[in-house]
Chains A and B, each alone.
Chain A
Amino acid sequence: DAGVTQSPTHLIKTRGQQVTLRCSPKSGHDTVSWYQQALGQGPQFIFQYYEEEERQRGNFPDRFSGHQFPNYSSELNVNALLLGDSALYLCASRPRVANEKLFFGSGTQLSVL
């Protein structure tokens, strides 16, 4: 049983560009959330999706947007990249009914030059 999978594992972009990161939740999971982890810091909550809609959002600007597809996979989009967007982006999933714990992927390491 595959866990949460994210792609790509590493990505290098230039300031001002746009990026799309992808996440496939663990089998049987329909709720996905995204986190940003800067070097030396704990993960910070970006937003959560279920039923193809954003349900909760952390303190992130509108440059950060997302999408959830009918198969429950999700994308994180970041526009107008800043140097400060360089971080590990983590995707987590859980089933709606068993909502006590999250399962995380290994993340996408984004470097903005």
Chain B
Amino acid sequence: DAKTTQPTSMDCAEGRAANLPCNHSTISGNEYVYWYRQIHSQGPQYIIHGLKNNETNEMASLIITEDRKSSTLILPHATLRDTAVYYCIVRVGPAFSGGGADGLTFGKGTHLIIQP
């Protein structure tokens, strides 16, 4: 799986959009970008994933650059409950591997702190 690089920590004001960057310059054509977050004392929670098109769901938006070497997770209106560690993970998608997206490689992630 390709390596990802994320800032160690970020601050964002409550109510503003939180933009979390991730670099994955060695990503391969069959690798997806996955985002998970982990709130203190809980297990990781899936947020969103994408291959090359921008994606949006009820939690967030994922913007992937045209060359696919970086991406940004956007939380449109951050709340205090969004304070967590956010993990960007690159992995071969199930459609290509024939298996599931189970053996995820988590880095240290970005500690996002939402300020009141």
Partners in one complex: yes
Chain A residues near B (Cβ < 8 Å): 4, 31, 33, 35, 40-45, 48, 55-56, 58, 90, 92, 94, 96, 99-107
B41 in complex: contacting residue of A44, A55, A106, CB < 8 Å: A106
Question: Could you show 23 A-B contacts with beta carbons less than 8 Å apart?
Answer: A33-B103, A42-B87, A42-B107, A45-B103, A45-B104, A45-B105, A48-B102, A55-B99, A56-B99, A56-B102, A90-B43, A92-B44, A92-B102, A94-B102, A96-B100, A100-B100, A100-B101, A101-B46, A102-B44, A104-B43, A105-B43, A106-B41, A106-B43
Q: With CB as the reference atom, state the residue of chain B lying closest to A49.
A: B102
B44 in complex: contacting residue of A31, A40, A104, CB < 8 Å: A104
Chain B residue numbers with a CB within 8 Å of A40 are 108
Q: Interface digits, B104-116 against A, CB 8 Å rule (1 contact, 0 not)?
A: 1111110000000
Q: With CB as the reference atom, state the residue of chain A lying closest to B41.
A: A106
Interface-centre pick from A58, A102, A104 (highest chain B CB count, 10 A): A102
* Chain A to chain B: the 6 pairs with minimum beta-carbon distance, closest first: A42-B106, A104-B43, A99-B100, A101-B46, A45-B103, A99-B94
Verify A106–B102 contact, CB threshold 8 A: no
**Per DSSP, are chain B's interface residues mostly helix, strand or loop, or mixed?**
loop
Q: Chain A's nearest CB lies how many Å from the CB of B94? A: 5
Chain B residue numbers with a CB within 8 Å of A107 are 43
Verify A43–B49 contact, CB threshold 8 A: no
Q: How far is the CA of A90 from the CA of B99 in the complex (A)?
A: 20
Chain B residue numbers with a CB within 8 Å of A35 are 104, 106
